[in-house]
Amino acid sequence: MMNIREIDIFSGAKRPVVIAGPCSAESEEQVVAVATSLAGSGVALFRAGIWKPRTRPGCFEGVGACGLEWLARVKKEFSLPVATEVATAAHVEQALSAGIDVLWVGARTVTNPFAVQEVAEALRGVDVPVLVKNPVNPDLELWVGALERLYNCGVTRLGAVHRGFSSYGEKFFRNSPQWQLPLELKNRLPQLPLICDPSHIAGKSELVQGLAQQAMDLNFDGLMVEVHHAPSCALSDARQQITPEELSSVLAGLVRRSSLSDAVEFATFRDKIDELDKEIIALISKRMAVSKEIGEVKKNKGVTVFQPFRYKETMERCVALGAGYELSAEVVRGVFEAIHSESIRQQLQIVNKKANDEK
Of the pair 48, 98, the CB lying nearest Mn ion is at 48
Of the pair 23, 212, the CB lying nearest Mn ion is at 23
Instruction: State the binding partner of 107 from ligand PEP, Mn ion, none, CB within 5 to 8 A by kind.
Output: ligand PEP
Kindly state the smallest distance separating residue 202's Cβ from ligand PEP, in Å: 12
At 165, the amino acid letter reads F
Which residue in the set 21, 62, 67, 106 belongs to the binding site for ligand PEP (CB under 6 A)? 106
49 binds ligand PEP (CB under 6 A): yes
Instruction: State the binding partner of 162 from Mn ion, ligand PEP, none, CB within 5 to 8 A by kind.
Output: none
Residue at shortest CB range from ligand PEP = 106
Of the pair 133, 149, the CB lying nearest ligand PEP is at 133
Kindly state the smallest distance separating residue 161's Cβ from ligand PEP, in Å: 7
Kindly state the smallest distance separating residue 199's Cβ from ligand PEP, in Å: 8
Residues contacting 228, CB < 8 A, separation 6+? 22, 23, 30, 34, 234, 238, 241, 242, 243
**Only segment of 34-42, 56-64, 103-111, 148-156 that touches ligand PEP (CB under 6 A):** 103-111
Give the C-alpha separation, 181 to 188, whole Å: 11
Count of residues in contact with ligand PEP, rule CB under 6 A: 8
**Only segment of 73-81, 100-108, 140-148, 351-359 that touches ligand PEP (CB under 6 A):** 100-108
Of the pair 15, 52, the CB lying nearest Mn ion is at 52
Q: Which residues bind Mn ion (CB under 5 A)?
A: 23, 237
Of the pair 7, 351, the CB lying nearest ligand PEP is at 7
Of the pair 222, 322, the CB lying nearest ligand PEP is at 222
Instruction: State the binding partner of 186 from Mn ion, ligand PEP, none, CB within 5 to 8 A by kind.
Output: none
163 binds ligand PEP (CB under 6 A): yes
The contact set with ligand PEP (CB under 6 A) reads 23, 49, 106-108, 133, 163, 200
